[in-house]
Structure 1
C-alpha cells in the first residue's frame, strides 16, 4: 500500500508518503504559508521515494477539525491530485492523528486530543488504544467551551494539542486526575494521517475524490455583529 498524505488544518503544514509501513515526511510550522509549501512538499516526497503520483494507491488528508482556510486547502489539494490521477481518498480526523502520536509516545491506553478553536472554544475528542495501536473514538468529536469537555468513561490518558497549551489548567481540572502526561505543543502531522489513511483503506473507507470533504464541526465561520 502506497499513500500520499497531507495536513494543513493548523499552524503546521505537513506531507507524508506511506510505503508499506515506511514513512517519509515533511513538516513545518508555517502559519499562512500552506498554499506555498504543500505541493512542493508532496513533490519532494515522491522524488525522494522514486515514485510517480500514478504509483500511489490512494490519497489521505486531514479533514478536520481545524482552521477553516487550512481545511479547505487540504481538501482542495487532495481532491485535485486524486482526481487527476484517478485515485481514491480517505479523509482522516486531525484529532485522531493527534491521538495516534500521543498513544505512540505513551504507555497509556487513552488520549485526549484538543485543539484551540479560538472564540473561547476547543475542538475535543476522547480516544482509546485499539487493535494495532490505532486510536478508537469514545463518542463524537465536538467543538465546545473548555469547561464543557466530556472525558467519557476514559481512564488515565495522555493529553495532546494546542488546546492544552491555551486551556490546560481548566482542562486538567475537568479531567479530575485523568491526565497522566501532556504534549501541549503538538499539532497534527501527515505521518499520522498517512498511517490512519492506510488503516482506513484496509477497512474500505476510501471514497471517490469528489466525495472527500472537510469536517468543520463549527457551523458559523465568524460571529456576525448584532443589528443596531
Structure 2
C-alpha cells in the first residue's frame, strides 16, 4: 500500500517552509521526511509555493490521493505571509478533498513532540515587541497556560523562569538580562509531526475554517506613526 503523507506549510517566520512527512513509526530514530524545502525570497513565495510542491511530490513519487491532511501554521506572523499559507492550504485541501490541521507558530517552535511541562515560547514580532505564549503539549493536545499575547521588548525581564524557547533575535535580547534560553525556530517538520497526532485524534478542520491567527490588533502603521516611531515619539 502506498504510504500516506501530510503536507505542512509554514510562512509565519517570513521564510516559506514546506515539509512532507509520511506516517511516523513508533520509536523510530528519525521522522519519515519525504521532502522539505524553503523559499527565502519573500516576494517569490506566492508564485513559487505550488509549483515547487508539485516538483517535490513528483520527485518523491507521491500523489494527491495519498495525502491524509494539509497542515498549516496559522501564526502569529506576517499579515500577508499568513494569508498566503492559509490560502494555499485551503485550496489544496479542497482540491484533494482532505481536512486541514491548523496549528500555531508557537507549537511549531516546540522541540519535543510530547511535553507535560510548561514551555514559554517567544518570537520576534517587530515594532519593538515579541509574541509570547506558555503551553504544554501532552499527547492529548496542546494546553494553553498563557494565551498568545504581545510583550514589549522593554518587558522581557518579566518572562517567567523555567523552560523558554526563543528565536535567535529574542534569545539575544534575553541575553542582556542574563537569561540563557533554548534557541529554536519554526519548523515545518514539527508542524507535520504534530499534525499526525491531531489527525489520529480526530482534531481536524474543514478547509475554510483554517484562518490566520493575528495577535496584534493593528497589522500596519500609518505614515505618521512610522515617522513618530523613527524619531522616538511615543
Distance 1:200 1:151, change over 3 A: farther
Cα distance, 1:218 vs. partner? 0.9
- Name the residue aligned to 1:66: 77
Q: Does 1:201 align with 2:199?
A: yes
In 1, Cα distance between the equivalents of 2:104 and 2:14?
16
Query: What stretches of structure 1 move > 6 A for 4+ residues in a row?
Result: none
Indicate which of 49, 57, 62 corresponds to 2:68. 57
Partner of residue 13, structure 1: 16
Superposition pairs of residues 1-228 of structure 1, within 5 angstroms: 1-21=4-24, 22-23=32-33, 24-99=35-110, 101=111, 103=112, 111-128=119-136, 130-131=138-139, 136-148=143-155, 151=159, 156-165=162-171, 167-169=173-175, 172=177, 179=180, 181-183=181-183, 186-224=184-222, 225=224
What is the alpha-carbon distance in structure 1 between the residues aligned to residue 173 and residue 53 of structure 2? 34
Distance 1:38 1:162, change over 3 A: farther
- Larger-Rg structure: 2
For structure 1, which segment, 68-77 or 118-127, has the greater mean C-alpha deviation from structure 2 after superposition? 118-127
Question: Residues 144, 84 of structure 1: CA spacing in aligned structure 2 closer, same or farther, 3 A cutoff?
Answer: same
How far is the alpha carbon of 1:193 from its aligned partner? 1.0
Separation of aligned partners in 2, 1:16 and 1:124? 25
**TM-score, normalising length: structure 1:** 0.79
The RMSD of aligned alpha carbons is 2.8
Structure 1: runs of 5+ lacking an equivalent: none
Partner Cα distance (2:147, 2:164) in 1: 18
Secondary structure, aligned partner of 1:221:
coil
CA gap of 1:44–1:110, structure 2 versus 1, over 3 A, is: farther
Deviation at 1:28, TM superposition (A): 4.4
Cα distance in 2 for partners of 1:79, 1:35 equals 14
